[in-house]
Amino acid sequence: MMRLTLLFALCLFGLAARPALAAQDIISGVSTDLIQIRSDFAGTDIVVFGAIEGTEPGASIQEYDIVVILRGPKANLTVRRKERILGIWVNREQVTFRDMPGYYFLASTRPIDEIAPPLLLHRFQLGAEIIGTVVDDLNPDEETTFREAAMRNLAREQMFIDTPGGIEFLSQTLFRTRIPVPSTAPPGEYHAEVYLFRAGTLVTLQSSPVFVDKTGLERRIYEYAYTASLSYGLLAVFMSCAFGWLSFALFRPR
């Protein structure tokens, strides 16, 4: 009887403690879930905003860390190393990274490696050292060299952005971050992810889809180029020859 009473008391304690443990949460949203690419598209910004709710009484907001990620559609990326041979720069070694995001934005309250242990970062692919998988068999030093080169190339094209301290707090619990989307962003489905950490432990996360899509004439040309690539290529060659001949006929010396 005593054992049954003790078990019942423990169950009641667990049910009473569960809401307090699950109360910590994050509510987030994005300013738009559709970015339309037209001929005059020169890039845009989207805003990820949210609030931390259910913080423990007496807990400081400094005890929490927020990480915001925007990932683009995945693709393979090949990085080549050039060497100078007889005065000419030629491609020699190359490494392919599989499932690299076409666009990757990371904003955090502080450097990502100070927020969580490497195992947790690797699980959710947070940080430049983790995204993408090397197809080729390399030693760790070579992999690091090629990965850094890949990140430099993506950063030069504004396709990889890492901004520690890029989370702006509007109040004790309200936050936002502004994400630039360049005009060269690949079309497809993106994911805006918001992570809430405390003391190196993931408390909760939310993910929202964002679509980057071509519209109007640009979309029809884009689809035609991919669904009928041979016809598109022949038509492009024919139009180039036709416009070249027309220019010659109109502007040739009389």
Find, among 139, 133, 142, 57, the residue nearest to 99 by Cα. 133
What residues have CB less than 8 Å from 11, skipping those under 6 apart? Answer: none
Residue with tokens 């995204």: 131
pLDDT digits (tens, 9 = 90+) for 34-85: 998 887 788 899 999 999 887 665 556 678 899 999 999 988 888 877 777 7
Q: Does the structural domain 26-214 have CATH classification 2.60.40.3880? A: yes
pLDDT range class, residue 18, cuts 50, 70, 90: very low
For position 226, what pLDDT does the model report?
64
For position 58, what pLDDT does the model report?
55
Q: Distance between CA atoms of 107 and 68, rounded to whole angstroms?
A: 5
Lowest mean pLDDT among 3-7, 133-137, 218-222, 234-238: 3-7
Could you state, in order of their start, the residue ranges of all structural domains in the chain? Answer: 26-214, 215-254
Find, among 132, 136, 134, 137, the residue nearest to 99 by Cα. 132
Q: How much of the chain exceeds pLDDT 70, in percent?
A: 79
Q: What is the pTM of this model?
A: 0.71
CA angle 144, 178, 103 (to 5 degrees): 40
